[in-house]
Amino acid sequence: MTMNKQSRSPFFFLQLGLWLLVLVTMGSLYTWRILAQPEPIQFKEDPRYALEFSPTVEPIQNFQLIERSGEAFDSATMDGKLWVVSFFYTSCTGPCATLNRSIEQLQNAFQGEEITFVSISVDPSLDTPERLQTYADHFNADPKRWLFLTGEPDNVQQIGQEIFKVATGAGMAPEQGDHEITHSDRLILIDQEGMVQGYFSALSDSELEMLKRKVRKLSAQPELERVSQKTSQTSTR
């Protein structure tokens, strides 16, 4: 019996060695696969979209466009008023319908209150004042409280990217060739002093409720208090 065990010992150790080699090889391959995977992309949160939003230090820059009525629009006429800016285009097959339905609901929710909605087309080559008029009627837009604007493509793009800091890409009319138009789904709240008070997704019920609360708070805030806060923010920055 003792001789049997001794004769099997080399074979036993050979099997054990092979198993250890397999285990080490498998472990090495697993470790290599983990290390070879690219690091996950880290997305830096845009502070404009944070729930706790700090108003801008300076009022937004004035700009001029054309309203659906054919009349010139100057953003300086919004001084002293609350207004909500958005970007869209009439041939949009994506989120534009939902975005404008949300604005229609806000328009109804703030009947009789001093707030104006300003929708800017990012496809001005197609969206003429006449086309905007037809589109606005589809959403029951009050011409005194909900404006639809168009203008030169370069101007529209500058307004979106440089003034409101959102992605906008003015495109060509579809019949002129394929194109891709970029625009934000955010509703941008501007206070009576011309300061950006927040960016709210028109596709989110919770953010729309936040926008409503912010509007009511700003509407109820006395002018003297608003000016005092603005002065305080400017001095601390």
Domain boundaries, the chain: 65-221
Q: Single out the residue of 216, 89, 205, 95 nearest to residue 149, CA to CA.
A: 89
Q: Say yes or no to pLDDT of 137 above 60.
A: yes
Residue-level pLDDT at 75 = 98
For residue 171 the two structure tokens come to 């495109």
Residue-level pLDDT at 20 = 74
CATH number of the domain located at residue range(s) 65-221 in this protein:
3.40.30.10
Q: Buried b / exposed e across 71-95, counting CB within 10 Å, b at 16+?
A: eebebeebeeebbbbbbbbbebeeb
For 54-83, what is each residue's pLDDT tens digit? 556 689 999 999 999 999 999 999 999 999
Residue type, 46: D
For 33-54, what is each residue's pLDDT tens digit? 544 443 333 333 344 444 444 5
**106, 107, 108, 112: CA torsion to nearest 10:** 120
Q: What one-character DSSP code corresponds to residue 168? A: -
* Ranges of H-type helices in the chain: 2-36, 96-109, 129-138, 153-158, 205-220, 223-236
